[in-house]
Structure formats: C-alpha cells, structure tokens
Amino acid sequence: MNVVVLLGAPGAGKGTQAPLLAACLGIPVVATGDLFRAAVRDGTPLGLEARRFMDAGRLVPDEITVQLLLERLARPDADAGVILDGFPRTAVQAAALDVALTERGAKVCAAVLVDVPGEELVRRMSGRWICRANGHPYHEALSQPRTAGICDLDGSELYQRADDQPDTIRARMDQQLGALREVIDHYRAAGSLRTVDGLQPIVAVASAINEQLAAAGICGAAAPGSAAEA
C-alpha cells in the first residue's frame, strides 16, 4: 500500500497537484475535511462524535481523525494506497498516523513538500478579487477581468475580502507554517521527505513530484525520463 502525504502551505498548489497525482498513481485523494463532512452526513458513530466537536467550534481530536482515515483506508478503492491532502497538520498527528499505519502493516512511503517561498504565497493568495453582485472570482495575475475593477459577467464592482489582504494572510500563515515545519521535520527525520520546487509551472511540478516518487520506489509513479515528463 502506497500512502503518500502531500505537504505545502496554503497557496502552494496542493489542491491542484493532488488530483493529477491520483490519476498518475491510480489511487484516491483523501482530504480530512471531506471525511468529516461525509461521516457527519451519513451519521456514522465517528461522524456523530466528530460533530460534537465541530458544532462546538473545537478541533476534532486526533484519535477520531486517525480512525476516520483508517476506515477510509479499509475501502476497496484504497487497496493500493491513498494520497493524504490536509493531514497530518501537526507533528503529533504525524506520529499518531505512523502508529496507526504500523498496526495495519502500512506506512507513509513518501511525504512530498511542494515548496513555495512565503512572499510568493502571499502574492498568490492576496491577488484574489470578487464581484459584489454574484461572487465571481478573479485574480490579479492568473485571471484578470477585461476591464480593471469590473466583473466581465455582470458589470459589478470587484472588491477584495478582508481575509485576502496581505497583512491578514501573513498573520494567518505565521500560525500555520510553524506547525507545517514540525511535520516537515518529522518526515525528514523518518527519511521519507521529498521536496519539489513549487514555483515551476503546474505541469513541471507534477512531473517533479512523479520523479521524486519514482525515486522512492512508489509503484505507478513515472520514472525520470519517461513519457510522463514530456
């Protein structure tokens, strides 16, 4: 079983790379947020337990999150492995995941960090603008409107939300990156950390991830120099 952890700060491009990697490896992406929502929707015992914490505005305990992941790993489509996106978020969670996987005769085969400098992350995340009428999204660098400040679809004014302001993003990132560094250190110590340059174009990042996984012996990953890099 190939358990791959996809690491990166918000804005690094994990959400873009995860489905590309899943298609290459033939294994599903597992995001803890999706697991929580599905378990709550279906009214499973773990879902009801998680909901108590979610409704109270508290973090779901690590043991519940890990149990949800293990239930997901038991499904037939995960026989060959999974890509974990959004978990673990802390070193404590990483250690708990290691123990749980070891008990199942599995392990994290590779933890791939999509590495992007902090100021580039701020630029990516602070470039978003929204139209007032219907919330159509734009981005200063990636998806500009035809007329500056005006929505192409309904002609309404574009504005930037408070949580997309650069100072707000930097403050939020300061909190998140500390925990991410601990997780990175955990997998570096375990010898499973692989790093790719997230400043490259999307296709180049995907190719670099596949190269790193092939070097780590992950089944299904494209070996360096293969057609997948073309």
Exposure class string for 39-64: b at 16+ Cβ within 10 A, else e:
bbeeeeebbebbbeeeeeeeebebeb
132 is catalytic: no
Q: Which of 107, 123, 128, 170 is catalytic?
A: 128
E strands, 123-187, are 128-131, 137-139, 158-159
Other beta carbons within 10 angstroms of residue 14's beta carbon come to: 22
124 is catalytic: no
51 is catalytic: no
Q: Which of 41, 104, 132, 172 is catalytic?
A: 172
Q: Which of 14, 107, 123, 181 is catalytic?
A: 14
Rg of the chain, C-alpha, whole Å: 19
The three-state secondary structure class of 198 is coil
CA 1 to chain centre: 20
Secondary element (H or E) of residue 37: helix 32-42
Q: Which of 41, 161, 181, 188 is catalytic?
A: 161
- β-strand 128-131 against 158-159: which pairing, if any? antiparallel
Are the CB atoms for 88 and 94 separated by under 8 Å? yes
Q: Which of 72, 89, 124, 194 is catalytic?
A: 89
181 is catalytic: no
Point out the residues that are catalytic: 14, 89, 128, 161, 172
